[in-house]
A = this chain, B = another copy of it.
Amino acid sequence: MILSLNSINCDNNEPIDRTVFFISDGTAITAEVLGHAVLSQFPLKMKSYTLPFVSTVERAEEIKQKISEIYKKSGAKPLVFYSIISPEVKQIINSSEGFCQDIVQSLVLPLEKEMGIKASPKLNKTHGLTEKNLSKYDARIAAIEYTLSHDDGISLRNLDQAQVILIGVSRCGKTPTSLYLAMQFGIQAANYPFTADDMDFLKLPAELKEYQHKLFGLTIAPERLAAIRGERRENSRYASIRQCRIELSEVEALFRKNNIPYLNTTNYSVEEISTKVIDSMGLARRMF
């Protein structure tokens, strides 16, 4: 059993209060994300094991054993967040010496009451591929491909197929945001950079002007931009705070002049920026 250990609320070498297990018959991505949200509310130092694709009795027994060992060694019950459909496999995990919570089922039971019908558990396919969602999945892969071929202004053709076109200076977050929009939401997102050479007479290129209703601007604090650019080209004019200030103020003026909605990305993650773009542009938020 290959196990990699991750830290929660602590650094790598600190002694810990509890061990945590995220266990799933699928990818365990949901158990992991939800478990982190829950545990971040407790002032404890923890380490976690993530165990995906747990679908056999043998594998479950192996994990139960591991939970036991940790309990015996530490004297504290490991915390277990799981999402497993098979009753046999689930029962083994539940009978372990961990403190076990079923992340999906705890929400299913109240719903059964409210709706007066029984749930029929199916193998965890939250992040899975099924015959039913295949065409949606293909659309998502096509969106990733579209986004890659329209990254960084590589191609200004087929912009009619873009659902959004992100614009901004170099290194303000356009590429990761475009890719996240495509990957998570199946959105065809193009992006276009303004460079230092554009600055003297900054205006929207004619190819973009035509699709003005699809444009969304990204901006960022000059200090953060200078730091990010410095990672790439230390002590360059490109990374100087002066150059960053000039470019950002020119581009922000352009956004305002053309009534292009924009967002300062300094304090936001790609997930947050993407969600805000979707919200602001009224895009469909497809689920996969």
Contact = CB atoms under 8 A, between A and B. Distances in A.
Interface of A: 2, 4, 6, 18, 26-30, 32-34, 36-38, 40-44, 50, 52-53, 77, 79, 81, 83, 99, 101, 103-104, 106-108, 110-111, 114-115, 117, 119-122, 124-129, 137-138, 141-142, 144-145, 148, 151, 175-176, 179-180, 183-184, 228, 231, 267-272, 274-276, 279, 282-288
Given A144-B176, A271-B27, A2 B127 contact: no
Contacts of A284: 4, 6
Contacts of A29: 33, 184, 271, 275
Contacts of A179: 144, 179, 183
Q: Which 8 residue pairs are nearest across A and B when measured between Cβ atoms?
A: A127-B271, A41-B119, A27-B275, A129-B269, A2-B282, A37-B126, A38-B107, A52-B275
Nearest to A39: B111
15 contacts: A27-B271, A29-B184, A32-B285, A33-B33, A34-B104, A38-B108, A41-B121, A41-B122, A79-B114, A127-B269, A127-B271, A128-B268, A144-B176, A144-B179, A183-B183
Nearest to A137: B269
A126 B33 contact: yes
A32 B115 contact: no
A124 B175 contact: no
A122 B40 contact: yes
Nearest to A5: B284
A189 to B, nearest CB: 13
Contact of A127 (B52, B107, B127, B272): B272
Contact of A4 (B36, B127, B138, B285): B285
